[in-house]
Structure 1
Amino acid sequence: MTTTQADTVVNLLGVIVAVTDQIPRILVADGGHDRALPSGPFDPKANASLEEGFRRMIEAQAGLDLNYVEQLYTFGNRYRTEDEMRGGPRTLSVAYVALAHEEELLTGGTRWVDLYEHLPWEDWRDGRPAMLDTIVEPRLKKWCSRTSKREIKHKRTERVNVSFGYPGAAELDAVLTLERLELLYDSGILAESDRDTRILANEPLAPLPTDIGVPMSCDHRRVLATALGRIRGKLAYRPVVFELLPGEFTLFQLQQVAEALSGAHLHKQNFRRLVMNADLVEAIGRTVAVGRGRPAELFRFRREVLGEKLTVGLSRPTLREE
């Protein structure tokens, strides 16, 4: 890695998102104990910019030539890597989020997995996830009552209600993905909480449970939650969803991709009315056979709309139980 100070290194980290068969997919690398997001050192001599270095890294690791890429955040909290916990240097990770089409990976070491395997509480397309009632809420309730100080108990309860809603809530703010992830970590519910505590205490590591989703290396689930929140937030004002679709698509395909990203079921007629009223798409004069029903009309994204309006998007997503 490139050393910026004697005790600090810089690397590049990426959340590569695709939607395939209604499933939001991310690129992961299997290294060390847990799944990890693609990452690698930044070489300032070989790359004119951080983004150039990131694109080259993903091409080298997965053979992907990325289109839509944006910088997400720089993660640099203390003890976010096992190396630092064991006395090594602090790692600053410049993270990017990219939207792509799932392609066959021509190089080894990376693969595509379901995003919601890592953040299962974020997928409300089939209604309120059962794990919220059987696992998450009971454990959060215990965490809130684990202190005798009224002020701390009040702050914890307030934090739970803002992030996950009141007990049995029928809807949540879909954009608060990072807040929910950090709450699960701070309350000790997330598997990585116990892992990091053991590493800092120099204790033997135990197999990580997966009842709260599949764990990830370092703080990569935090990075993933940050990226998902960014994407969901952008649905309201930028047409990022079209980066995940082919050049020609049906309105039902568009709705399925939007639902996959937002983790929520969308009302068919309201969604189509919103898309058409915003002039986001236009019919191309052809249809395609879909199942046994009548042929579906094909559309294309009106890219010129980007120069016509300041805000071009769908709507702010809400995780809602139908």
Structure 2
Amino acid sequence: MTSRRLCVPEEQEPLAVELVAVVVAVLSGRPRVLTAPPPAPGIPALPAGPLEAGQPSLQAGLRSWVTSQTGRQLGYVEQLYTFADHDRGLDDTRGRRISISYLGLTTDDAPEQARAAQPGASAWHDAYALLPWEDQRGGTRLVDEVIAPQLTHWVGAAGSPADRTARRHRCDLTFGRGGHAWLPDLALQRYELLYEVGLVPEAREAWRLPDDDLVPGEPMIGDHRRILATGLARLRAKIQYRPVVFELMPAAFTLGELQGCVEALAGQALHKQNFRRLVEQQALVEETGSVSSGTGGRPARLYRFRRSVLDERQVAGTKLPALRTR
């Protein structure tokens, strides 16, 4: 008689599944991200919650968490990315956390005073306070004077000439240096590089640089700033080939307001005439017959999005010039 040894599986590490929302609006010319009441004082967090057995779907679970934590009903939502990296975050929780993220777009019609953050409340947080190097509209001083020298030091610390060459190429491509153009939709790659070099407080303590050497930018709880960078990159890429920017616009708007929204998302200034020419060529908008008197000068014509565009062309070739700068 042959005996068999029973193989007892080793104890598995705890596994948690989290649903995370990157909800974006453009307010006062700045991209804002919706934050939930923070679990840690002073550290903003995206709306998030665990996947529960009673939730009928991932998206339904996400919508439920966003509503319960912020009081908002989500409109446009699409799945973003699933993160399953081991040991990433600011907390000491052992085990692996799988974060299933979604991108949501909305407008916010609340008066300005109602948007002010109250202690323990949800709020609209300036995305460029969290990722300040992503806003290139005011120039490249932060990258030139703060980030680039730190990256140069990291390149020089490589163990071999080949590694130094690879690091230099990666830094140049990611941050638009060495003859490479700045590409707005590389927002995630830029954050990941800063994380790897140890220039953000979320980096693991084993390689994180001293506080005085960290780049400016508010940290977020856990891996939420990485998820925000992913959402920003997706949105910047998507406005080049789909008219999702209109999910962030009011029903009626001026062409100047539309351009300002695209510039805020792209983090770059656009050529005014080129922008308007492409909008007209794409036939994305139509006049409402009314004008706006709040432009500070001559009344500007009001426009609305032609939603029939979605049926006429199935969205093919419908884009805005997010990467065409002045």
Indicate yes or no: 2:79 matched with 1:79. Answer: no
For residues 62 and 149 of structure 1, what CA distance do their matches in structure 2 show?
Answer: 50
- Structure 1: distance between partners of 2:302 and 2:317: 24
TM-score norm. by structure 2 comes to 0.87
Contact 2:199 2:213 (8 Å CA) reproduced: no
Sequence identity (%)? 40
Aligned counterparts, 1:193-212, within 5 A? 193=203, 196-197=204-205, 211-212=215-216
2:182 maps to which residue? 172
- Counterparts of 1:209 and 1:143, CA distance in 2: 12
Deviations 1:202-257, CA, capped at 9 Å, x for gaps: xxxx9798742111111111111110000000011111110111111111110110
**3-state SS of the aligned residue for 1:226?**
helix
Deviation at 1:82, TM superposition (A): 4.3
Residue 3 of structure 2 is matched in structure 1 by: none
1:317 to 296, 299, 323: 323
Contact 1:81 1:91 in 2 (8 A): no
Deviations 1:175-210 (A, max 9, x none): 1111111111111122222xx225x99xxxx97987
Q: Alignment partner for residue 45 of structure 2, among 3, 17, 36? A: 36
| Aligned partner of 2:16 among 4, 9, 15 | 9
* Alpha carbons of structure 1 residues 173 and 292: separation in structure 2 relative to 1, 3 Å: closer
CA distance in 2, matches of 1:150, 1:256: 44
Higher RCO by CA contacts (8 Å cutoff, separation 6 or greater): 1
Aligned partner letter, 2:72 = L
The alignment partner of 1:317 has SS state of coil
* 2:107 is the counterpart of 1:95: no
The answer to whether the 8 Å contact 1:280/1:305 transfers is: yes
CA displacement at 1:31 relative to structure 2 = 2.2
1:129 and 1:219 map into 2 onto residues whose CA distance is: 26
Distance 1:57 1:80, change over 3 A: same
CA distance in 2, matches of 1:209, 1:253: 38
Q: Describe the SS at the equivalent of 1:109.
A: coil
Give the number of aligned pairs. Answer: 305
Alignment correspondent of 1:160: 171
Q: Deviations over 1:17-44 (max 9, x none)?
A: 1111101111123222622211111113
Other-structure match for 2:223: 219
Give structure 1 stretches of 5+ with no counterpart.
none
Map of 2:128 onto structure 1: 116
1:274-321 Cα offsets, whole Å, 9 max, x none, are 101101000111111134421110111001101222231113526x6x
SS in 2 for 1:175: helix
TM-score (norm 1): 0.88
CA distance, structure 1, for counterparts of residue 46 and residue 130 of structure 2 = 12
The answer as to whether partners of 1:191 and 1:212 remain within 8 angstroms in 2 is no
Cα distance in 1 between the residues matched to 2:248 and 2:239: 12
Match of 2:67 in 1: 59
Output aligned runs, 1:213-292, within 5 Å: 213-292=217-296
Superposition deviation, residue 89 in structure 1: 2.5
State the secondary structure of the residue aligned to 2:304. Answer: strand
